[in-house]
Amino acid sequence: MPAWVRVASLGQGAAAALEGGERGEVWAAFRRAAYLRMGGGLVALTPQGSHAGPIHAVLADPLPPLEVGTAVRVEADRVLVGESLVIDLSAAEAWSGYHPTPGALWRGRRLASRSVAAVAARSALLFPPYRSRCGDWSTALAEPDIARVAGLLGGVGPGLTPSGDDALAGVLFVARLLWGATAEQHLMACLVEARASEPSISFLVWAARGQALAPAHDLLLAAAAGRVDKAARSAALLGQVGASSGADLCLGVQLSLDHLPPARKPPHS
Q: How confident is the model at residue 3 (pLDDT cuts 50, 70, 90)?
A: very high
Range with top average pLDDT, 73-77, 112-116, 194-198 = 112-116
Could you give the percent of the chain with pLDDT greater than 90? 86
Q: Give per-residue pLDDT as tens, 4-48.
A: 999 999 999 999 999 988 899 999 999 999 999 999 899 999 999
* Averaged pLDDT for residues 90-95: 96
Mean pLDDT of the chain: 94
Q: Give per-residue pLDDT as tens, 77-89.
A: 999 999 999 999 9
CA angle 9/13/15 to nearest 5° reads 55
Does residue 269 register a pLDDT over 50? no
Q: What is the pLDDT of residue 174?
A: 98
How far is it, in rounded angstroms, from Cα 205 to Cα 192? 11
Backbone φ and ψ for 24, nearest 5 degrees, come out as -170, -150
Closest of 206, 181, 177 to residue 107, by C-alpha: 177
Q: How many CA atoms lie within 13 A of 192 on its CB side?
A: 4
Does residue 268 register a pLDDT over 50? no
Backbone φ and ψ for 140, nearest 5 degrees, come out as -65, -35
How far is it, in rounded angstroms, from Cα 31 to Cα 33? 6
Within the chain, where are the H helices?
Answer: 12-17, 102-107, 109-120, 130-134, 137-142, 146-153, 163-179, 184-190, 198-208, 214-224, 228-239, 245-259
Would the CA dihedral through 66, 93, 232, 146 be positive or negative? positive
Inter-helix orientation angle 245-259/214-224, to 10°: 30
Contact, 51 vs 9, CB < 8 A? no
Q: Give per-residue pLDDT as tens, 145-188.
A: 999 999 999 999 877 889 999 999 999 999 999 999 999 999 99
Q: What is the pLDDT of residue 135?
A: 84
Cis-peptide, bond into residue 199, ω within 30° of zero: no
Closest of 194, 225, 223, 224 to residue 207, by C-alpha: 194
Contact, 212 vs 246, CB < 8 A? no
Q: How confident is the model at residue 266 (pLDDT cuts 50, 70, 90)?
A: low
* DSSP code, position 219: H
Beta pairing, strands 71-75 & 23-29:
antiparallel
Amino acid of residue 187: L
CA angle 237/43/45 to nearest 5° reads 60
Amino acid of residue 160: L
Does residue 61 register a pLDDT over 70? yes
